[in-house]
Amino acid sequence: MIFSRRFLPYFVTQCLGALNDNVYKNVLLLMVSYSQIEALPIDVHLFVNLAAGLFILPFLLFSAHAGQVADSIDKATLIRRLKVLELLIMSAAVLAIFSHSYLIMLLLLFLMGVQSAYFGPVKYSLLPRVLNEHELVSGNAWVEMGTFLAILTGTLSAGLIVASEHVTYWAAGSVFTLALIGVCSSWMIPSIPSSNKVKPKFSIIKATATSIAKVRKNRDIWVAILAISWFWFVGASYLTQIPNFARITLNSDPTVVSLLLLLFSIGIGIGSFACERLSCKQVELGVAPLGLIVLGVFGIDLYAALPILATPAAVFDVVTFVSDAMHYRLMFDLLMIGVGGGLFIVPLYTFIQARADENECAQAIASNNIVNALFMVTSAIFAMLVLNGLQWKIEQLFLVLAFGNLLVLTLILVSWSELTVSVLSYVLRRILNRQSINNTEELAALKQDRSASIIVEVERCDLSTLLVINGLFNRPVYIATPQPVTQQSRLERYFINKRLWAGKTAPLPVFVCTKEAILPVPIENARTIRCSIKRRKKSWLRGQIEVDLTI
């Protein structure tokens, strides 16, 4: 998959975009903070805060319209236009860098934020259009790893550029070259036409309100968006505070900051690909809580692992920091916090892509970007209240975030039935038992086709059968059984909904696999699968679930 034309050009394009964003932003901030501070027309602290705010502001203003645009035109065409826009912005940035026009550079940073806001929805909504279902988790894992490594590489590269002898030439040449390569790679992305004929209307407030209201109608997608936004709340807090955490708490120089950011980013990549392995290349929402557990447990241990410095010692550089054994546990904890983040967000992004309507997927991603931006702004305000208002230390802020992860885990497990059922289904099929399925190729083709509803005929409809069926499909299905179904537990009531097709009579009792699911496809177009599920005891530790499908 990674080397196929349907994925590789897109992957390279999105990585270059994230890399260029961070190179330009961090070069600007570092030039302002160190090299050219006397040339600033405004206070340096005001300039830095303006830069941070102007880059994230477009995500709040334009994401809703960006989602409508991404759903209405060919996605490859939109990406090419956005990359050409990036090249034009960076061409102007070259002139601004050479002339040291910092206010112009600030305006161009805002325009780069606008370009990124329009790229975000098409970036994620493209994946379910070009990848098969069994490739979707892997595709998201690559994207998350690529994005975080691009952010890290951009941050580190900016430091090297500003520290070089010819700052202006390296800065201007880097941002222009990255934009130019991005344009070239975007032309290799194959055409992905849209079947949505609705014309987008530009209205910031109305479009944003409409986008949020539309996605809230699907509670499962809305809760997934809130969960992803919580990760960005936590992640933004870590990334923002790590420089001061290294300087104040760990008595370390900027090289250690780079090491800690590297560990966090590598952890994200490891967690993303670990999610692919744990998911067995299918949508497995039940893996996500494991990520929150890892985030919480190792976040708490990070606080416990802090070294105790009795007297002020010499400032650590990266060599002395790594050679001191008292830092190993702390470094491992930070790595595992990144792993937890990857395990948490990849299943959630994949779930949104699989559940959202094909013609409105980009709008769902746009709503996600809006809420993400709000949570990141809130994280900055929360950090100011804790660190400046309460006068707490950074490590205490990290401890609060760690316990917050465990609290959020409890809240979503209690309030989000889809997640609870997915966890139970995953435990039954992947941990307590080994699952084997015949007819996997035909099943994959059937799941890929969303034009028809699915009826699953089973001999009996007990809880274990429902959990297995829930894990086989990433969307609601109808269940037909000749046996009467008793609704006793809350969990069973989640699955079973005695609602037949309007005006139709099914030969068997028909139920819906997900509560209040709306399946508009008429019964005449439904596909029927006969499903036989048998459980065998293979050893004292694990059993075997055999799923026999007749399609």
HEC profile for 100-155? CCHHHHHHHHHHHHHHHHHHHHHHHHCHHHHCCHHHHHHHHHHHHHHHHHHHHHHH
Instruction: Note the pLDDT tens digit of each residue in 330-365.
Output: 999 999 999 999 999 999 999 998 888 877 888 899
Residue 150 has pLDDT above 70, yes or no: yes
pLDDT over 70, % of the chain: 87
Domain 212-415 = CATH 1.20.1250.20? yes
Whether residue 302 contacts residue 333, with contact meaning beta carbons closer than 8 Å, is answered with yes
pLDDT, residue 518, reads 43
Hey, what's the torsion of the CAs at 213, 193, 90, 41, to 10 degrees?
A: -10
- Partnered with residue 455 across adjacent β-strands are 478, 528
Choose the weakest-confidence range: 298-307, 310-319, 376-385: 310-319
Q: Which residue has the higher pLDDT, 543 or 45?
A: 543
Across the range 357-383, mean pLDDT stands at 89
Across the range 309-336, mean pLDDT stands at 86
Q: Which residue has the higher pLDDT, 517 or 184?
A: 184
Across the range 141-167, mean pLDDT stands at 87
CA 431 to chain CA mean position, Å: 25
- Residue range(s) occupied by CATH 1.20.1250.20 in the chain: 1-191+198-202, 212-415
Kindly report the average pLDDT of the chain as a whole number.
84
Choose the weakest-confidence range: 21-25, 37-41, 520-524: 520-524
pLDDT, residue 36, reads 52
Report residue 507's pLDDT band, with 50, 70 and 90 as the boundaries.
very low
* C-alpha–C-alpha distance, residues 113 and 7, integer Å: 24
User: DSSP assignment, residue 344?
Assistant: H
Across the range 408-417, mean pLDDT stands at 91
Closest to 349 measured CA to CA, from 149, 196, 128: 128
Q: Which residue has the higher pLDDT, 363 or 450?
A: 363
pLDDT, residue 496, reads 54
Question: Whole-prediction pTM value?
Answer: 0.86
| Encoded tokens for 393 | 């230390």
Whether residue 21 contacts residue 154, with contact meaning beta carbons closer than 8 Å, is answered with yes
Report residue 514's pLDDT band, with 50, 70 and 90 as the boundaries.
very low
Instruction: Note the pLDDT tens digit of each residue in 236-279.
Output: 899 888 888 888 888 888 888 888 988 998 999 999 999 988 98
pLDDT, residue 513, reads 47
Across the range 304-327, mean pLDDT stands at 82
| Encoded tokens for 21 | 């964003």
pLDDT, residue 486, reads 54
Across the range 205-218, mean pLDDT stands at 87
Class of the CATH domain delimited by 1-191+198-202 = mainly alpha
Q: Which residues of 424-459 are buried (b: 16+ CB within 10 A; e: fewer)?
A: bbbebbbeebebeeeeeeebeebbeeeeebbbbbbe
Whether residue 241 contacts residue 315, with contact meaning beta carbons closer than 8 Å, is answered with no
pLDDT, residue 132, reads 83
pLDDT, residue 220, reads 87
* C-alpha–C-alpha distance, residues 539 and 277, integer Å: 23
* C-alpha–C-alpha distance, residues 329 and 304, integer Å: 9
Q: Which residue has the higher pLDDT, 200 or 182?
A: 182
Kind and range of the H or E run holding 284: none
Q: Which residue has the higher pLDDT, 52 or 374?
A: 374
pLDDT, residue 240, reads 83
Report residue 443's pLDDT band, with 50, 70 and 90 as the boundaries.
confident
Report residue 510's pLDDT band, with 50, 70 and 90 as the boundaries.
very low
Q: Which residue has the higher pLDDT, 527 or 403?
A: 403
Across the range 390-398, mean pLDDT stands at 92
Instruction: Note the pLDDT tens digit of each residue in 458-501.
Output: 877 777 887 888 888 767 777 777 665 555 555 555 555 444 33
